[in-house]
Amino acid sequence: MCGIVGYAGYRQAYPILLESLKRLEYRGYDSAGVAIVGSGITVQKDKGYISQLEETAEAVPGTLGIAHTRWATHGPPSKENAHPHIDCTGDLALIHNGIIENHQPLRDRLKGEGHVFRSETDTEVAAHLIESLYHGDLEGAVREALHEIRGSYAFAVIHSKEPDKVVAARNESPLVVGLGTDENFLASDIPALLKHTNRVLYVMDGEIVVLGRDSVRITDYEGKPIAREPQRITWTLEDAEKGGFEHFMLKEIFEEPQAIHDTLLGRVAEPELNSFFREGYTGVKLVACGTSYHAALVGKYVLEEIARIPTTAELASEYRYSKAPADRPLVILLSQSGETADTLGACREANRRGCKTFAIANVIGSSLSREAQRTMLTRAGIEIGVAATKTFVAQLAALYLLAIRIGLERATLGVEEANRLNEDLRRLPRAVQAVLNQAPYIEGLAQEYAKARDVFFIGRHLGYPIAMEGALKLKEISYVHAEAYAAGELKHGPLALVGSDTPVVAIVTRDHTYDKMLSNIREVDARGAPVLAIGTEGDKDLGKIVDNVIYVPAVPPLFAPVPVVVALQLFAYHVARVRGCAIDKPRNLAKSVTVE
């Protein structure tokens, strides 16, 4: 996730662009850059926050330009990898938010044609591709290039030979036009526009915009004009930064379909990673903290089932004190931030023990991604709410991908089966969306449960780590005491605590543990506990034996943790909201825990 802005008007572009860009810093802040059309194009960029760019850049004159704040996905944060990227001639500058899936073959081809690349980014291929198609018509060249580019993107491009326009395009990444008088604006998101205008045009997938000082033209990829009525935005700036959601946490939950989609994008074949998993270990150890640890627990089942490899999950804070086993496992470290001190310590320890280390992290260039031997990025974008939500489902997506990869590499999984699993994976964003559509219903349910002092979460097999995650979400943001139990363990102790004032949230999706879960529900029901079940769509019988049900779409059992956890995140969010808690910044907690 990056932030892009553009301006075409009568005022000096530089201060407008930088000021607007700062409003998008929540979308990424590892490097920033600006390009202004004056006499030629001047590009200035730097690593770090926008304030760093302001210190090093000059306010060059010009009334048209583009600017970018980056959240790295391809190539670490650096001045070279910062946007805008230019073509070989320096006449064209381009900014991009998203991921170009087929960047490698395009790069290879363009290099073969003599183009010289200056960065490691996927974005730079677009600059050279458009250059190769440019014959005096920027809009036409962009249109042609888009027929070749696969992936998600919002682009904005300028050319010194056409100094009166910004050409932009969108596919699966946000883009909005702001309409002014004798000036027009372009941005990834509304906050960047609000200081100047509240009249906006939303650009849709598959559309190209040509932005001029006194005109905005939208066409499809074939050049057919598209008419669109402007909308008037009534949000305050603060509302706008949260995309109109009351809290970042809710916004981030609603970004989950995109987070999964982006994490999977172009990942089916990454040959150099493949060979990494081929040999040199007999088992896998997943190591993490907090929510990432819950992803690791799910990963244990997933790796064992898909890749048929013995797997354990361990808390990073404990791993460091365990004895090194004689055989060296592949150690997979999971961390949203990539800066968690315990996880970093575990990575160092695993390296010291001579293990292969692999990180799943959300922040490129983070310490963990540098210290592990290889890294897979979850491409969830910045997560601001302290409670991990979209990064958790992105971690699960990464683990499914990894399990398929390891299974194929070690020949414990056939190609046909892998293709089927990949298809199931691709359907997950839709299943998540179906749960999000039930948010109003879940909000209603939360009213009923918000007064509880203690809540128990129960599940079996894959439902158990998800019960743990549901309990963690509830306790950290609503301060309700919540505990998760493997449902089979209830009668070995915890049942003594269950009564009419202790609601039980039970995960009862359709899998091989279903009947046993029903028995456990009867046990708590017999003690008078109100039961909220998370069940599979169409399971009418479940509704007859519990007080409330949140139904999630039927997906293959191995993938059920994804839709189920979304329901639990929404439940925790709404309970916390009813209780008036500081949802995005819960007491005593920090987003990144850099102390042991």
* Residues of the shown chain interacting with ligand M6R in the complex, contacts defined by CB under 6 A: 289-292, 335-337, 340, 343, 386-388, 472, 476, 592-593
Closest CA to 332 of 390, 263, 380, 403: 403
Instruction: Kindly tell me which of 291 and 502 has the beta carbon lying closer to ligand M6R.
Output: 291
Instruction: Kindly tell me which of 46 and 349 has the beta carbon lying closer to ligand M6R.
Output: 349
- Which one-letter amino acid corresponds to residue 358? F
DSSP helix/strand/coil, 297: helix
Instruction: Kindly tell me which of 188 and 291 has the beta carbon lying closer to ligand M6R.
Output: 291
d(CA 470, CA 477): 11
Q: Where are the alpha helices (DSSP H) in 265-389?
A: 271-276, 290-302, 316-319, 341-352, 367-371
CB of 386 to ligand M6R, least distance (A): 5
Instruction: Kindly tell me which of 551 and 571 has the beta carbon lying closer to ligand M6R.
Output: 571
Angle at 122 between CA 119 and CA 125, to 5 degrees: 80
Residue from 79, 161, 516, 591 carrying the catalytic annotation: 591
Instruction: Give the helix, strand, coil percentages of the chain, each rounded to 5.
Output: 40, 20, 40
Q: Where are the alpha helices (DSSP H) in 41-191?
A: 50-56, 103-112, 124-133, 138-146
CB of 567 to ligand M6R, least distance (A): 16
Evaluate whether 412 touches 307 at the Cβ level (below 8 Å): yes
Side-chain half-sphere exposure of 293, counting CA atoms within 13 A: 16
CB of 504 to ligand M6R, least distance (A): 22
Q: Position of tokens 């449960």?
A: 449
Query: How far is C-alpha 8 from the geometric centre of its chain's CA atoms?
Result: 31
CB of 262 to ligand M6R, least distance (A): 18
CB of 478 to ligand M6R, least distance (A): 12
Angle at 225 between CA 219 and CA 230, to 5 degrees: 80
Neighbours of 494 (CB within 10 A): 17
CB of 368 to ligand M6R, least distance (A): 8
- Which one-letter amino acid corresponds to residue 172? E
Instruction: Kindly tell me which of 216 and 472 has the beta carbon lying closer to ligand M6R.
Output: 472
CB of 323 to ligand M6R, least distance (A): 24
Evaluate whether 75 touches 119 at the Cβ level (below 8 Å): yes
Instruction: Kindly tell me which of 93 and 295 has the beta carbon lying closer to ligand M6R.
Output: 295
Instruction: Kindly tell me which of 7 and 457 has the beta carbon lying closer to ligand M6R.
Output: 457
- Which one-letter amino acid corresponds to residue 353? R
Ranked by CB distance to ligand M6R, the top (closest) residue is: 290
Residue 591 designated active-site: yes
Instruction: Kindly tell me which of 209 and 360 has the beta carbon lying closer to ligand M6R.
Output: 360
d(CA 479, CA 387): 13
Residue from 2, 289, 347, 581 carrying the catalytic annotation: 2
Evaluate whether 173 touches 151 at the Cβ level (below 8 Å): no
Q: Where are the alpha helices (DSSP H) in 171-321?
A: 237-241, 248-254, 256-264, 271-276, 290-302, 316-319
CB of 292 to ligand M6R, least distance (A): 4
Q: Please, which residues have CB within 8 angstroms of residue 311's CB and are 6 or more apart in sequence?
A: 283, 284, 285, 286, 299, 300, 303, 304
SS (H, E, C) 498-532: CCCCCCEEEEECCCCCHHHHHHHHHHHHHCCCCEE
Residue 2 designated active-site: yes
Active site residues: 2, 591
